[in-house]
Structure 1
């Protein structure tokens, strides 16, 4: 899109977000510890059954933060094409992750954390809020999901 293009409507924004969730491989994951120490890392993900599935070592800062707080903020894109997702996190051990989610993750990323020698966990992020905008002209109407329901 060009700076002067008209803003996308809500249906187009939702379609664009869903297409990105199906096509992109990595996402920025922001989390915080119980004392508020922030952590920001890129992780691979898969969009499966209406949730984002991530995997990282359970004992690293991101793994601990996601498990302990049950919250995450995820971001796709660059500063001119932004998607921000806030969601609730459920943690699964490598042995306890639903097989369909682990297999979808493996198909998408080409990697299966269940076979790693490290203590990987899976994190299911259920979106509660989704914002999407292209530059300033799309700030109005950027909320396309609120309280876990698409507004379009």
Structure 2
């Protein structure tokens, strides 16, 4: 992310949606939060691919975040910039390397430059997240109206 200061004029909901979609196309990593069955919290960065409606991540099956997210069936994530906040809450579908939908693993490898299927001795799980709620804001001036996707539908 650039170190240039962000504009202080609050963006419209339409502009926030546009900016979110641009970032989802451009960014490669997302912070993923999860908790285990005892409530122990975890935060981990995972690489992702955006297909226009879902984000797909890959992690070793034994990864704590992957296990927690699979068990919960939902996840909260954030794009990396803290001055240009994008929070995503979504539902999770998990796929093994054998059951991942056709083309998803290939798109992941092509976009990110590494292929989990080619890492010997480590079984990976693909986590497909369908956003149900997205919030975005840049500073206090955008705190109200920060929800731009609700119940899986854009509010603009």
Counting only pairs closer than 5 Å after superposition, residues 10-89 of structure 1 correspond to structure 2 as 10-89=13-92
Superposition TM-score, scaled by structure 1 size? 0.94
User: Could you tell me which residue of structure 2 aligns to residue 120 of structure 1?
Assistant: 124
> Secondary structure at the residue paired with 2:114?
coil
Shift in alpha-carbon separation, 1:119–1:3, aligned structure 2, 3 A? closer
Superposition TM-score, scaled by structure 2 size? 0.92
Gapped runs of 5+ residues in structure 1?
none
User: Could you tell me which residue of structure 1 aligns to residue 139 of structure 2?
Assistant: 135
> After TM superposition, what 4+ stretches of structure 1 lie above 3 angstroms from structure 2?
1-4
Distance 2:7 2:72 in 1: 41
Gapped runs of 5+ residues in structure 2?
none
> Secondary structure at the residue paired with 2:103?
helix
Distance 2:73 2:86 in 1: 20
Give the CA deviation at 1:66.
1.2
